[in-house]
């Protein structure tokens, strides 16, 4: 098993690296984790329309990249989160079930256990959310291709709901204030819960140490994700995550 320590990246790079690591996971038949973060981007769910979901003029004005994920789910903008990605070859003994619901829960429970070690009591809300005191702290999404299951998700740290939703279209602009207020009451971040604020690096190191212990049997190897790997991934998927034909396909 490999655990990659990564930095905050442009959204297209993150998506390209995720898919590149799926190929690596398939080739080496091993589990690969990666911890990274987004930089100046809105991620769209696979089935969402960029034009319908986003305030594209504001995205362009603020130099926010619009990047379509290879996974379903909703649009998300956050500049304060830890993103985890895990690639598991289909048929790997770690996967207790191939079922989508069951595998979501199996992976999400690991993230929840990591939160518990920080003193945060979180719960799984099917299909793909993690809640703390009824508020969402993490959204997760899964796909299967190249013979590998990829699940990636957010672990929100600081939440600025006004900014988070400033790039998203709200169907009735008059309802935006009401919408933002209602979202504020249902979303939270780690640093809103803990007495001491954690940095991106501190949370990343917490999860890396936690996984090393949790997956001791798989002899995890912790590596810094290299620029060379990012460049190779970006080159391989240049026509996908770096192209308008993908990001604006719907």
Partner 1 sequence: MNVKTFDYKVPGGKLLRIHAVFELDKILECKIFGDFFMHPEEAKEGLEAFLLGKTLAEINPELIDNYLLDNQIELYGFASKDLIYVLKQIYENL
Residue ranges binding partner 1 (CB under 8 A)? 45-49, 52, 70-75, 100-101, 127-128, 141-145, 171, 250
User: To the nearest whole angstrom, how small is the minimum distance from the Cβ of residue 46 to partner 1?
Assistant: 5
Nearer to partner 1, 142 or 204 (CB): 142
CA dist., res. 12 & res. 69, Å (int):
9
Contact predicate 131/125, CB 8 Å: yes
Contact predicate 68/46, CB 8 Å: yes
Q: What is the SS3 assignment for 42?
A: strand
User: To the nearest whole angstrom, how small is the minimum distance from the Cβ of residue 104 to partner 1?
Assistant: 9
Strand order in the sheet with 41-44: 65-68, 41-44, 76-77
Nearer to partner 1, 51 or 221 (CB): 51
Closest CA to 137 of 194, 175, 179: 194
User: To the nearest whole angstrom, how small is the minimum distance from the Cβ of residue 99 to partner 1?
Assistant: 9
Nearer to partner 1, 154 or 204 (CB): 154
Nearer to partner 1, 49 or 97 (CB): 49
User: To the nearest whole angstrom, how small is the minimum distance from the Cβ of residue 51 to partner 1?
Assistant: 10
Q: What is the SS3 assignment for 240?
A: coil
């Amino acid at each position: 098993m490999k655990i990659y320590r990564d930095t905050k990246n442009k959204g297209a790079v993150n998506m390209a690296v995720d898919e590149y690591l799926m190929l690596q996971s398939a080739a080496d038949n091993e589990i690969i984790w990666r911890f990274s973060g987004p930089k100046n981007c809105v991620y769209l769910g696979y089935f969402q329309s960029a034009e319908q979901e986003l305030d594209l003029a504001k995205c362009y004005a603020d130099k926010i990249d619009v990047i379509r994920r290879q996974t379903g789910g909703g649009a998300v903008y956050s500049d304060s989160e830890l993103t985890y990605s895990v690639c598991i070859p289909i048929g790997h003994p770690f996967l207790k079930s191939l079922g989508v619901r069951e595998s979501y829960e199996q992976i999400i429970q690991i993230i929840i256990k990591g939160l518990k070690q920080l003193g945060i009591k979180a719960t799984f809300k099917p299909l793909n959310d993690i809640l703390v005191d009824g508020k969402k702290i993490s959204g997760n999404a899964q796909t299967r291709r190249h013979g590998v299951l990829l699940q990636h998700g957010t672990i929100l740290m600081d939440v600025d709901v006004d900014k988070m939703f400033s790039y998203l279209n709200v169907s009735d602009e008059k309802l935006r204030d009401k919408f933002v207020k209602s979202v504020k009451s249902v979303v939270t971040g780690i640093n809103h819960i803990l007495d001491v604020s954690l940095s991106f690096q501190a949370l990343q190191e917490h999860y890396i140490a936690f996984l090393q212990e949790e997956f001791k049997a798989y002899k995890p190897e912790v590596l810094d994700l290299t620029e060379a790997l990012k460049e190779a991934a970006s080159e391989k998927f240049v026509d996908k995550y770096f192209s308008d034909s993908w990001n604006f396909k719907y």
